Amino acid sequence: MESLAGKRILFVITKSNWGGAQSYVFTLAQHCHAQGADVAVALGGTGRPGSETGMLAARLAESGIRTLSIPSLVRDVSFFREWRVLKELRELIREERPDVLHLNSSKVGSIGAVAGRLEKLARIVFTAHGWPHREPRNAFMKAFIWISSWATVLLSHAVIAVSEKDYATTPSLFSKKKVHLVHNGIREFPLKSREEARSFLAPSLPDLAKYKEWIFMPAELTRNKGIDIAMRAFAGVRTNVDSAALVIAGEGEEHGALARLIDSYGMQKRAFLLGFVPDVHLYLAAADIFLMASRKEGLPLALLEAGYAGLPVIATKVGGIPEVIQHEKNGLLIEPDDVDGLADALTRLLLNPEEAQKYGKELKCSVREKFSEEEMLKKTLALY
């Protein structure tokens, strides 16, 4: 691997809250910094224009890595705002003069690739954490987003797909040689005991503490995560298994809607919104089943963490999830938005704990064998 000493690397990501893409950027930035590179991370806030920066910025600062705030950079698209983002990014690039510009998220990928080309950068790398044209949208929007993603690929010097699904669906007309498959990976981490984890997660929730089985969902509260589907499915499960609770750790724009959904199903004492939990992966031993009901994913780090912890997993057949979960071998797969199918899968594992434990053990072995952070770093840095 080429030495990074003295190399200037600028990472850019749209949102600075904490999620899979942010964890990915943090891992890469931290590693490059430790290898002697001059690293900076440009990022937006946690929601609306002008919002404060989030957990990613705080953790980067703790690690001695410079952060550069772009207040106008948000996930939602606004034509006039994007011109401002482009202007701010070009100014940052002129000041930083990076040897490598590494873009993350579709929104900043397209704008950042344009900015990088206009400033004549030698190396622009883009990581696709799930292509947005695969999300449920009307035909016109899918076509527009596909063209935008294609432009990002054309303008980048290298594109990283984190799953085989992303690799196969990359808009790569005339540009296939630029696209590289690099699976996400994780490193070893310490797990709290089950007792410690449950005590930490539910110190003031006696209604949660009394449940024997926890169905656990650590996720940002957005529509793409399918938490509404999980709640509807759980409403059908609770009549069959009274000893189980649905536990959701995360924050996001759907918090209010999900709280109302809990009320509408009368699940106030059965389904729990814990809010954002820092380093939630350390507390996975609190769970009996790990649930990922997503409508869209790349190759989620949270899923790999669940596998590393040996949890039984129920997940949807989206993105790179089927590359990790093999149905009825190391977990259960369902179709996205399938409320009845998810309810059946939850009931099945809750009523058959031996089957669930078998899946958890199989998944633990495969994740630890196939998805290492060391391999991810090696393949990624080779593109710099």
263 pLDDT above the threshold of 60: yes
Query: Same domain, yes or no, for 311 and 346?
Result: yes
In a domain, 2, yes or no: no
Do residue 126 and residue 202 come from a single domain?
no
Query: What is the structure's pLDDT at 1?
Result: 54
| pTM of the predicted protein model | 0.90
Kindly state whether residues 321 and 224 are assigned to the same domain: yes
Q: Are residues 212 and 121 in the same domain?
A: no
The answer to whether the Cα torsion of 383, 367, 324, 272 is positive or negative is negative
Range of 40's domain?
8-181
10 Å Cβ neighbour count for 341? 18
* SS3 state of residue 249: strand
What span, in angstroms and rounded, lies between the C-alpha atoms of 217 and 322?
Answer: 18
pLDDT at 174: 85
Does the pLDDT at position 231 exceed 60? yes
In the sheet that holds 8-13, the strands lie side by side as 66-69, 38-43, 8-13, 100-104, 124-128, 158-161, 179-181
d(CA 104, CA 55): 16
**Same domain for 129 and 67:** yes
State how far the Cα of 345 lies from the Cα of 333, in Å rounded to an integer: 8
- 180, 161 Cβ separation under 8 angstroms: yes
The answer to whether residues 205 and 175 belong to one domain is no
Q: Tell me, what CATH number does 344's domain have?
A: 3.40.50.2000
Q: Would 257 be classed as within a structural domain? A: yes
CB atoms within 10 A of CB 58: 14
- The residue out of 181, 212, 229 marking a domain boundary is 181
Residue 50 above 70 pLDDT? no
Tally of domains within the chain: 2
Helix or strand or coil: residue 100?
Answer: strand
Q: Which of 50, 56, 52, 51 is nearest to 13 (CA)?
A: 56
- Boundary of a domain, candidates 115, 150, 181: 181
Whole-number pLDDT of residue 375? 96
Residues 171 and 264 in one domain: no
Q: What is the mean pLDDT of the chain?
A: 93
Residue 186 lies in a domain: no
Residue 187 lies in a domain: no
Question: 377 lies in a domain?
Answer: no
- Tens of pLDDT, residue by residue over 159-201, are 999 999 999 999 988 889 999 999 999 999 999 999 999 999 9
